[in-house]
A and B are shown apart, each in its own frame.
Chain A
Amino acid sequence: MDQRHDAPEIDPVTGHATTGHEWDGIRELNTPLPRWWLGIFYATIIWSFGYWIVYPAWPLLTDATRGVIGYATRSDITVQMNELKAQRAALAAGMTEATPAQIKADPKLFQIATAQGKAAFGDNCAACHGVGGAGAKGYPNLNDDDWLWGGSLDTIMQTLRHGIRVAGNDDTRVSQMPAFGRDGLLKRGEINAVANHVRELAGLPTEPKADLALGRKLFADNCAACHGPAGKGNQELGAPNLTDAISLYGMDMASLTETIGNSRNGVMPAWGGRLDETTLKALTVYVHSLGGGQ
């Protein structure tokens, strides 16, 4: 209660004491806030001093106060990352034992593998093959049913582990299509004839003046050994099927003459040493599940 010797002014209408404050003829009634309310309010202020001491709080010129318990968001993250790693390890435990085929057959492992594979794909593969494996010119689309080196779990794993045309890797996938133009194996007109024959094989329109008979003969002599007499390709050799609706480098005349003249020898890194076995398996199962797996 107000202990001042001057008695508080009493508002005549309500009979309440006023605070003595007046604005434009309106006097403020002294309506009490409850003590517990004020108590909590003061307590929060005192509590804040604790924060200033315990946690990093005050910015200094080049740094900030550190707080007495050494708390930092960075150390929090380290702890959380370690917890996450431990959690993942438990999930991945089942996958270390199983083969890709066994993983695919077990719905629970399959779910974990595709989730892990998707993440690993985003980190390592998406740069070339695109998010979701859509691919681009020169980078195979992993969603379709056309495979240069085979689309079974084993062949995918082999390609992943050893890469394609990786120097120094004995098990890497190697196919060497000669650069028929650059190496002087075929003349410009002959390359044009072969390109026209390839379009003929694929059921695409050929140039009106094209020498298809020459093209057919040159294809049989130079290309059929790998691509087959009908151009159906050979996965053992990594020779693409030239008659289907999918091509890695394009089936227009300009792309075909470039391919025949200078060859194409795309390289994929070997992931065997870079990613652990479990991640390789997860990637294999994920890529297989994209829709093209055989």
Chain B
Amino acid sequence: MPLFAASRKVYPQSVSGPFRRAKWLILFLCLGIYYLLPFLRWDRGPHLPDQAVLADIANGRFYFFFIEIWPQEVYYFTGLLILASFVLFLMNAVAGRVWCGYLCPQTVWTDLFLAVERFFEGDRRERMRRDEAPWSADKLWRKSAKHAVWLVIAWWTGGAWVLYFADAPTLVRELATFTAPISAYVWIAILTFTTYSLAGIMREQVCKFMCPWPRIQAALTDDEALNVTYRYDRGEPRVSVKQAQKLRAQGAPAGDCIDCHQCVAVCPTGIDIRDGAQVDCIQCGLCIDACDTVMARIGRPTRLIAYDTETNVKRRMAGKPAIYRPLRVRTLIYAALIVVVGGAMLWQLATRRTADISVLHERAPLFVTLSDGSIRNAYAVRLLNKRPQVRPFALTVAGLPGIRIDAVGIAPTADLRPVVTVDPDSSREVRVLVTVPAGVPLEASQAITITASDLFAGETVRATDHFMAPGAKP
């Protein structure tokens, strides 16, 4: 005896209409970008990779067109994730789960896999009939061909993924000659398996059982959000076409819904939208296309199922006109947050420097008394050069009378400034000694500023730290 009832297999029927066309368009757009983007080139100069989008894990760099992100700048990704959540919230507040229905990778790949299935096994009825029929040569070759094409798509999906982590043309050649790193093959295998099983086999069950968004979305939505809605004010009571004509002739009320179940047949998650808004609905709008076709055929107004709000259905029931309020407190707050977070990120990106300095005071010892009585502190100074050229940085220090700076292993210039050269697109740490002559009155701790100036480009970065003197406690 099974612990639970088996889930019902969904056989979505093909459908045509504006929403289906929108989905095809988005599918080609998204997959086109995903598969081709790694091959887009972007000239960054002689020392840097020329791939437009590249996650260079080995060298700790992420390249996105003109943006180059260093490991210590991963907060940009945090910002992007926050931004993505707000955009998702806003989309949800305005038009429900448009993400799920049109943009979610699960939806996009499932759509593609369904198209392959239809190509080999036919539409809904034919597939159902074939699944019930005993195995035959015809059934075998159709099923095999379907799975083979699925596997090719899944394999290519995993293949495209690894291209984002290395120079794409080189990696393609390496993959073909079996000289690529083993991790590339492992990742392709993993993603082939997940794409095949998620988009080919699990499909709507991913949305229903694995994805957390339906639960979160249900908590975020309200009656004013546009959702795929069955207008029961117009559809009920459900009667046949003939019955409806008869009733209307008598002046009696008759609904437009003829209970043809087309909306159920085309639904990729296998639900009946006429049961109202529900967690299984990904709001792809295919039921709208299906219902519109039927309405046109029986000569009734289209959009019996439409993007509509719960509020409007109730208002029409009460005889009031429909109202749409996309500008609500909820949507305005989300929009404002998007502007604030996006603006902050853009500002940060626009004002980011191509050089950086970080200073770490050495703690053992906190300070050293030299033979002439002067006091010296040591610091680990790290200089970052994000440009593709070698850059010389002159170090200076300020904050106390007679204060002097030296870098271990680097001869100072005539004006006593040590000049540290940093290689292109890298960082260099130097041990820096800061000395204050004897006789300068010193507190246990005082602030000083260490400045690094690019001798050619003139860019200047500075950092403040403390200068410790006798009396300081470790």
Instruction: Give residues in A with beta carbon < 8 Å to B.
Output: 1-4, 17, 30-38, 104, 110, 130-135, 141, 143-146, 241, 244-246, 289-291
5 contacts between A and B (CB under 8 A): A4-B1, A133-B365, A144-B369, A241-B371, A244-B371
Q: Is the CB of A34 within 8 A of B5?
A: no
Interface residues on B, range: 20 to 34
CB nearest to B362 among chain A residues? A132
Q: Is the CB of B5 within 8 A of A17?
A: yes
Q: Is the CB of B209 within 8 A of A34?
A: yes
Nearest-Cβ distance from residue A125 to partner chain B, whole angstroms: 12
Q: Apart from A32-B4, A36-B202, what are 9 other A-B pairs with CB-CB below 8 Å? A: A2-B1, A32-B7, A34-B7, A36-B197, A37-B205, A131-B364, A132-B365, A245-B438, A291-B368
Q: Is the CB of A130 within 8 A of B364?
A: yes
**Which residues of B396-428 have CB atoms within 8 Å of chain A's CB atoms?**
408-409
Q: Is the CB of B5 within 8 A of A2?
A: yes
Return chain B residues, CB-CB under 8 Å to A135.
365
Q: Is the CB of A30 within 8 A of B369?
A: no
Return chain B residues, CB-CB under 8 Å to A33.
3-4, 7, 209
CB nearest to B423 among chain A residues? A107
9 smallest beta-carbon distances between A and B, as pairs = A132-B364, A134-B365, A244-B371, A245-B373, A32-B5, A143-B368, A131-B364, A32-B4, A34-B205
Return chain A residues, CB-CB under 8 Å to B370.
144-146, 245-246
Nearest-Cβ distance from residue A135 to partner chain B, whole angstroms: 8
How many angstroms between the C-alpha atoms of A42 and B369 in the bound complex? 70
**Which residues of B1-41 have CB atoms within 8 Å of chain A's CB atoms?**
1-7
Query: Do A37 and B371 contact each other (CB < 8 Å), given the known contacts A4-B1, A17-B5?
Result: no
Return chain B residues, CB-CB under 8 Å to A131.
364
Chain A CB within 8 A of B363 CB? yes
Q: Is the CB of A132 within 8 A of B363?
A: yes
Return chain B residues, CB-CB under 8 Å to A241.
371
Nearest-Cβ distance from residue B419 to partner chain A, whole angstroms: 14
How many angstroms between the C-alpha atoms of A188 and B6 in the bound complex? 103
**In the complex, number of A-B residue pairs with CB atoms less than 8 Å apart:** 87
Chain A CB within 8 A of B376 CB? yes
Which listed residue, A1, A32, A291, touches B408 by the CB 8 Å rule? A291
Chain A CB within 8 A of B433 CB? yes
Which listed residue, A3, A35, A132, A144, touches B7 by the CB 8 Å rule? A35
How many angstroms between the C-alpha atoms of A292 and B4 in the bound complex? 77
Chain A CB within 8 A of B372 CB? yes
Return chain A residues, CB-CB under 8 Å to B409.
104, 110, 289
Chain A CB within 8 A of B218 CB? no
CB nearest to B205 among chain A residues? A34
How many angstroms between the C-alpha atoms of A246 and B3 in the bound complex? 83
How many angstroms between the C-alpha atoms of A159 and B372 in the bound complex? 24
How many angstroms between the C-alpha atoms of A38 and B6 in the bound complex? 10
Chain A CB within 8 A of B447 CB? no
How many angstroms between the C-alpha atoms of A132 and B201 in the bound complex? 61
Q: Is the CB of A30 within 8 A of B201?
A: no
Q: Is the CB of A291 within 8 A of B431?
A: yes
How many angstroms between the C-alpha atoms of A38 and B7 in the bound complex? 11
How many angstroms between the C-alpha atoms of A134 and B376 in the bound complex? 12
CB nearest to A30 among chain B residues? B5
Q: Is the CB of B372 within 8 A of A289?
A: no
Chain A CB within 8 A of B378 CB? yes
Q: Is the CB of A3 within 8 A of B1?
A: yes
How many angstroms between the C-alpha atoms of A133 and B376 in the bound complex? 14
CB nearest to B431 among chain A residues? A289
Return chain B residues, CB-CB under 8 Å to A141.
365, 368
How many angstroms between the C-alpha atoms of A4 and B2 in the bound complex? 11
How many angstroms between the C-alpha atoms of A3 and B1 in the bound complex? 7
Q: Is the CB of B201 within 8 A of A245?
A: no
